[in-house]
Structure 1
Amino acid sequence: MSAVIQMLRDSKNAPAVVQSGESCNVVVTFQDLTGVTIVKASLITLTVTQFEQKTAAIINSRNNQSILDANGGSVANDGTLTLRLQPLDSVIANTTTNVENSEVHVLRFDFTWSDGVSTRTGRENRGLSVERQAAPT
């Protein structure tokens, strides 16, 4: 699956990295092609598909899953989405990922909204690095 993937950033503007099995919040906003933020009242649908970048394996059954105020997703009136990822969302999906290395989990957001004249569609891909940890011995 080749698409432009914008890597998520942490509060210090560094690439976001989580350890396998760790939960985290993903916070994003969506804009139309003119740069105007799409507010909650305009959103019609919002779904996520989560997959491992190299293998395209679906992670935690998040395949075109509605997250418009459901399934861990919450949209504020200003259009800010907070998606609460759980430990099963950050499992290592690619068995060839070595300990202390990371794999990229892609969050593909598909959304429709009304611009006041017609229904529009959008898609954005965000990436999250998930680091494989050594198992205790």
Structure 2
Amino acid sequence: MSLNEMLTLKDILEQNVARKYYYEQTYEPLDLSKKIVTRLHLNTHDLLKRVYNENNKCATLTACRGGYKQKKVYIERENKVRRLTPLEYERLQTVPEGYTEGVAEGHRYNMLGDGWTVDVIAHILSYMK
């Protein structure tokens, strides 16, 4: 996929995701016309409550050091909210699938959130002589 194409969350989502990635918390009423479709009822900052529309682009990935910091997505076909998996983070950062395997899951999220999007860096460097 080229940089000019719009990569949406739906393009990178895994199909069979383990139960541990799903949230049981209730959420505000849905508005599927927006990028942020709902907010989870969590005792934390507003930014960490946001649940994104799978038909839109993902918000900027950041390191996830504790709490509810992983990006959340509403899966319409399942009518459920879950966090993105490390594999989905790899896909968003355009690193090879499984690139961060072999370390604890929390470290995978941190590495990918602290990292650079490979395709963007390759595009920037393509202009160097």
Q: TM-score, normalised by structure 2?
A: 0.28
Which of the two has greater helix per residue? 2
Q: TM-score, normalised by structure 1?
A: 0.26
Which of the two has greater strand per residue? 1
